[in-house]
Amino acid sequence: MTSIPYYPGCTLNTVAKPFDLSARRSLKLLGIELAELAQWNCCGASFPLTPNNIIGLTGPTNVLIQSQKAGGTVSTLCSFCYNTLRRTNQVIKEDEGRRTVINDFLGTSYEGDVEVVHLLEVLRDRLGFSELKKRVTRNLKKLKVGAYYGCTLLRPKSAAIDGGETTRIFEEFLEAIGCEAIEFPNRGECCGSHLAMSNEEVVVRLSGAVVASAQAFGAELVTTTCPLCFYNLERSQKAQGSDTLLATRSEAVSDPLHGDWLSRPRQCLSPSGRGQTPRADAGKGVSPPMREEGDQTPGATLPVLYFTQLLGLALGLPEEELGLGENLIDPRPVLRAKGIVREQLVASS
């Protein structure tokens, strides 16, 4: 049993508990212990883009410093954490000015030498996908799974897995555990991210396009490494249906965003979507799904899984330990139909 420092981050510690647990349990079966950092704090979720926002860098820097104490490497699961830590590390390493200010503020002397790795990289580079393939105990029957990277694993290029855009790490992982990886065009398009809090329409549309794209390319499931993508992809499908959690907050959708823009003439806006905001029906309860010409329209709902839930399945973990039942869109009917899990699942091993 080897061990690797592990930074779960806030979301995995709370609403995305199944993500965290499935990872720990699966990795244990593979002989790797995810050793949670002794002390950690929120990474800040969004990387502070403006160069003078130094205070936003102190949180992730502190995580990096804790990682250094734990051995100089830190593994993450959440794409946001991965992205924020990598980019912060880059700033500390390359920008002497900001490094000095941050170190002065924290009373530290961190130089940016921690290695931030994603769990996918751990599986590929430490264990090896060929080794992983040998450890698989449950046949996933070439389940067609769309590998959804989202934004933060791929961009910016300087902080991305394998340099972003052309990486196949996720697909290779899926192939190693016995799935058929579906490489679909929207695998790196945005899900709508934090606009979940303020603009449902945009999230429904963006996530809808991701789901539709995966389905159009034959995916039976879609998998992600990000709890927010997971949330948006699931909820947007529910919102498309009707009784939804998203719909309950439609009152917050548009007005506050538009402000005095309403008083402006619109001829500069294109006749497509932009010109129609704010929608006349916004704030009147259930918001209809946004459909426009050329929209990809998802058909049946597409279950969303964390990649570690799939990993656990392949390694033979029982579904209760993977939290499959906690998903908003139950993936088990698809898995049963494929014969991957039985009607009444009995714990194997």
CB of 349 to another protein, least distance (A): 31
Contacts of 240 (CB under 8 A, 6+ apart): 204, 208, 289, 298
**Binder to another protein among 4, 5, 8, 16 (CB under 8 A)?**
16
Q: Which of residues 193-222 bind another protein (CB under 8 A)?
A: 193-199, 201-202, 205-206, 209
- The Cα-based distances of 113 to 45, 72, 157 in angstroms read 21, 7, 19
Q: Are 322 and 22 in contact (CB under 8 A)?
A: yes
Identify the three-state secondary structure at position 93: helix
Rank residues 29 and 54 by Cβ distance to another protein and give the closer one: 54
DSSP per residue over 108-174, as a string? Answer: ----S-PEEEEHHHIIIIII-HHHHHHH--S--TT-EEEE--TTTTT-SGGGSGGGSTT--HHHHHH
Rank residues 228 and 310 by Cβ distance to another protein and give the closer one: 228
Q: Which residues pair with 224 in a beta bridge?
A: 306
Q: Is the peptide bond before 156 cis (omega within 30 degrees of 0)?
A: yes
Residue found under tokens 């709902």: 301
**Binder to another protein among 112, 273, 283, 316 (CB under 8 A)?**
273
**Binder to another protein among 71, 105, 245, 348 (CB under 8 A)?**
245
CB of 206 to another protein, least distance (A): 6
Rank residues 240 and 250 by Cβ distance to another protein and give the closer one: 250
Binding marks (x or -) toward another protein, 292..321, rule CB under 8 A?
Answer: x-----------------------------
Instruction: Return the closest-CA partner of residue 331 out of 321, 341, 344.
Output: 341
**Binder to another protein among 3, 15, 39, 111 (CB under 8 A)?**
15
**Binder to another protein among 80, 110, 148, 173 (CB under 8 A)?**
80
Q: Are 64 and 40 in contact (CB under 8 A)?
A: no
CB of 245 to another protein, least distance (A): 7
- Determine if 75 is a binding residue for another protein (CB under 8 A): no
Cα–Cα distance between 158 and 304 in angstroms, integer? 28
Candidates 66-74, 117-125, 128-136, 190-198: pick the segment binding another protein (CB under 8 A).
190-198
- Determine if 251 is a binding residue for another protein (CB under 8 A): yes
Q: Distance from first CA to last CA of the chain, Å, rounded? A: 19
Q: Are 246 and 204 in contact (CB under 8 A)?
A: yes
- Determine if 173 is a binding residue for another protein (CB under 8 A): no
- Determine if 327 is a binding residue for another protein (CB under 8 A): no
Rank residues 68 and 277 by Cβ distance to another protein and give the closer one: 277
Residues at the interface with another protein (CB under 8 A): 9-11, 14-16, 42, 44-53, 56, 78, 80, 151, 154-157, 164-165, 189-190, 192-199, 201-202, 205-206, 209, 227-228, 230-231, 245, 248-249, 251-252, 256-261, 264, 267-269, 272-274, 277, 292
